[in-house]
Chain A
Amino acid sequence: MTTESPTPELSYEKPLPPVLELTKPFWDGCREGVLQIQFCNICDLPWFPPAEACPRCLQDDWEWRPISGHGTVWSWIRMWQKYFPGWSPDEYPYTVALIKLEEGPYMYSTLVEIEDQDVSCDLAVEVDFRKVNDEITLPVFRPAST
C-alpha cells in the first residue's frame, strides 16, 4: 500500500515530525502501510493524538490497534499564507483537511487524488501513504473507493 512519491525530493524541507518513544508505533505502522491508533484495553476507547493513558480510565493499559483507515472530511482549507519553508511557490495554495476517523478521533492530513472543486465537507475518504524518508511516511487521504 505504501507508495513512493512520484518525484522523490532530494532535500525535503517541509516540517518533519519528531519521533518519540510514545509515537514510534504510529510511524512504524505508517511505514508498513497500516494506520493505527491507541485503544484502551479496559474500556476500548480509541484516542488520537497519542497520550500516555486512556483519557477515560486514566490507566496505561492500552495498545496500538490498526483502524479502518476510513473517515470523512470534517472540513478543509486552502492555505495561501507562507508560514513554513518547504512548500514551493507552485504548491500554493495547498490543502489541509481535518479528517473525522470512522473510529471517532480527528486527524489533520491532506487530500490526494482529488481536485479542490470536488472536495466537500463530509466527503468519504480512505487513508493512503506517502513516503518522505526512511523513517517517516505520512498518512494522507483520498476519496473512498466504495
Chain B
Amino acid sequence: MANQPDRSDLRNLRDKTAIVGVGTTEFGAIYRDLDPERSAYELGLIAFREALRDAGLKRTDVDGVIVSRLPHYGRMCEMIGLRHPRFVNVLPGEGRQSGIALQYAALAVANGMADVVACIYGNNGRSAGARYGGESRGISTQAMFEAPYGMTSPGAVTSLMFRRHQYRYGTTTEPLAHLAISNRANAALNPNAVMQRPITMDDYHGARYIAEPLCLFDYCLINDGGVCFIVTSAERARDLQHTPVLIHATSQASDITPVYVADDFWHEPMSQIADDLFAHSEAQREDLAFAQLYDNFTPTMLFTLEGMGFCEPGEGGDWITPERIGLHGELPLNTGGGHTSESYMQGWALHVEAVRQLRQDCGERQVDDAQYGLYACAAPLATGHILKRDN
C-alpha cells in the first residue's frame, strides 16, 4: 500500500502519563435494586467521587473531563462543580470508546492541554429498560435494511462472525464455554461482581440460545453502573498515594464497513495494534501478567487473541484452555469477571480491573507478577494498551 503512515511516533506517549485513581459503583448491589429514576449522571458522580478519593486528589485538581454514554458534558461538570475545565470531550456510549477515552486523556495531559483528566462513564441501561436490540425506527440502515428481516443487536452480528469462524476453521463452542466459565470463576472472587455463582460446562450447554450459535452465557450482562478513571502526568503521579499505573503503549486501528463484520475477524486492525504495542514496549506477549479483553460477547475474545498473535488465525479454539486463561495460567483473561459476569461497563471496568491488578490490590483474584497488563478491544474501531506498574 502507498503512503503507509509512520507509526513509530506512537512511542512519544510512552510512560508519559498514568492512571492515578479509579472508582466504580457497587455493581452487584444496584443490580438487585432497579430504580427507574436512577440517572447515568448520578452513577458517574458516584464513580468520580470514588476515583478522586482513590487518587487522593481534590475536586479542584481536575481540569479536564471526558464523559461517555453520558449525553452531555455540561450536566456532569455542573454536578461535580467544575465550572472552568480547560479540556472537555464527549464520547458516545459504545464499548469501543473506553480505550479511546484513555487515549484522549493521555494525549491531553502529555501535550499540556490539561493536568488532571477525569474520564467518567455512567450507564443506567438496566433501570431504563435497554434491550440492545429491536430498534426499527428512523431512517438508519438498521431500520431500512436489517429490521425488516428481524436482524438486530450487536450479539447477532457477533454470532454471524462466529458461525463464519466455525465454518472456516472448524471451531466449536467449547472455547466459548471455557471463556464464559472462566469469567464467572473470576467474578466469584470479585465481591463487586454482579454474577458470582460459578457455572459449569453443563450450565453453558444447557443455556438458551439468543442468536444461535450464541447462548445466554456468551452475552454481556445488562446492568447499571458508573466508572471513572483519573489520568495525570507520570511525574505528578509519583507524588500521589498509589503506585502509578503508566500508560506504557497504546494504539488504535480500524476496519470500518457498512456491515460491522470483518471477513478476517478483525485480524488486520488487531495485528496492527499488537505490532504497535510490542514495537514500543520492552514487554512482549510472554511478559503480560493478564489481558483484559473486550467481551461484549465471548467470540470477541477469541478474535482478539488470534488477531493479536497469541495464536495463529483459526487456532484460538485450541489455544483457549482453562489452564492457560485461568488466574494463574499463562495469560489470565478478564480477571474481574468481564462483561459476562462482573459488569457490562463497555470496557470501562476492564480498565479499572487492569489498574487494580497492577497495583496488586485484587485479593483472592490477584494474578502473579503483575508488572505489565494488556487491555484490548476488537471491533470496527479497535484499541489496545499495555499498562505498566511504575517501578
Contact = CB atoms under 8 A, between A and B. Distances in A.
Q: Is the interface of A mostly helix, strand, loop or mixed?
A: loop
Interface stretch (A1-9, A63-71, A101-109): A101-109
B261 A75 contact: yes
A136 to B, nearest CB: 8
B341 to A, nearest CB: 20
Interface in B117-162: 131, 133-134, 136, 138-139, 141, 143-153, 156, 159-161
A83 B149 contact: no
A76 B214 CA distance: 12
Contacts of B322: none
Nearest to A22: B139
Given A74-B261, A81-B133, A93-B209, A17 B150 contact: no
Interface string B203-247: 000001111110000000000000000000000000000000000
5 contacts: A76-B160, A81-B210, A83-B153, A106-B259, A108-B259
A98 interface: yes
A74 B166 CA distance: 12
Contact of B164 (A15, A16, A18, A121): A121
A41 interface: no
Contacts of B112: none
B164 A107 contact: no
Contacts of A10: none
A110 B150 CA distance: 9
B133 to A, nearest CB: 4
B209 A105 contact: no
B150 A49 contact: no
Contacts of A15: 136, 143, 147-148, 150
Given A20-B144, A93-B212, 20 more contacts: A15-B136, A18-B138, A49-B144, A49-B145, A74-B164, A75-B164, A77-B212, A79-B150, A79-B211, A80-B210, A80-B212, A81-B133, A83-B153, A84-B152, A87-B150, A96-B150, A96-B151, A98-B261, A108-B146, A110-B149
Contacts of A87: 150
B145 A77 contact: no
A41 to B, nearest CB: 21
Contact of A14 (B148, B153, B168, B259): B148
Interface residues of B, number: 37
Contacts, number: 108
A110 B145 CA distance: 11
B204 to A, nearest CB: 16
A96 B257 CA distance: 19
A108 B144 contact: no
A23 B141 CA distance: 11
Contacts of A20: 139, 144
Given A14-B150, A79-B150, A98 B167 contact: no
B134 A83 contact: yes
Contacts of B149: 96, 108-110, 138
B258 interface: yes
A138 to B, nearest CB: 6
Contact of A23 (B138, B144, B257): B144
B164 A77 contact: no
A120 interface: yes
Contacts of A121: 163-164, 167-168
A37 B52 CA distance: 54
A83 B209 contact: no
A122 interface: yes
B261 A18 contact: no
A114 B280 CA distance: 52
A58 B271 CA distance: 30
